[in-house]
Amino acid sequence: MVKFKILNKNEDCLLLQYVGEKRYMVRDTENEVILITYNLDNAKKVFEHYSLEEVRKQRRELLDTWIKEFVEA
């Protein structure tokens, strides 16, 4: 079983390290994996700039576009 160490946490996501490895994961608070990498600097950048509200906004926009294209009113 894979275990993780929490390196940092904010209201939108977690920065995790695989225990015993130099591999990192950014996971949001809705349990979606955002990034898995061996590059800690890259993981930190993603962690620092990730916005769950922005992701939700983009998903709503994608849904609206999909509805316009594929759903009859």
pLDDT in tens, 1-23: 999 999 999 999 999 999 999 99
pLDDT in tens, 29-54: 999 999 999 999 999 999 999 999 99
- pTM here? 0.85
- As a whole number of angstroms, the distance between CA 62 and CA 39 comes to 30
pLDDT for the residue numbered 73: 72
Mean pLDDT of all residues in 45-66: 97
**E strand segments, 1-73:** 4-9, 13-18, 24-28, 33-37
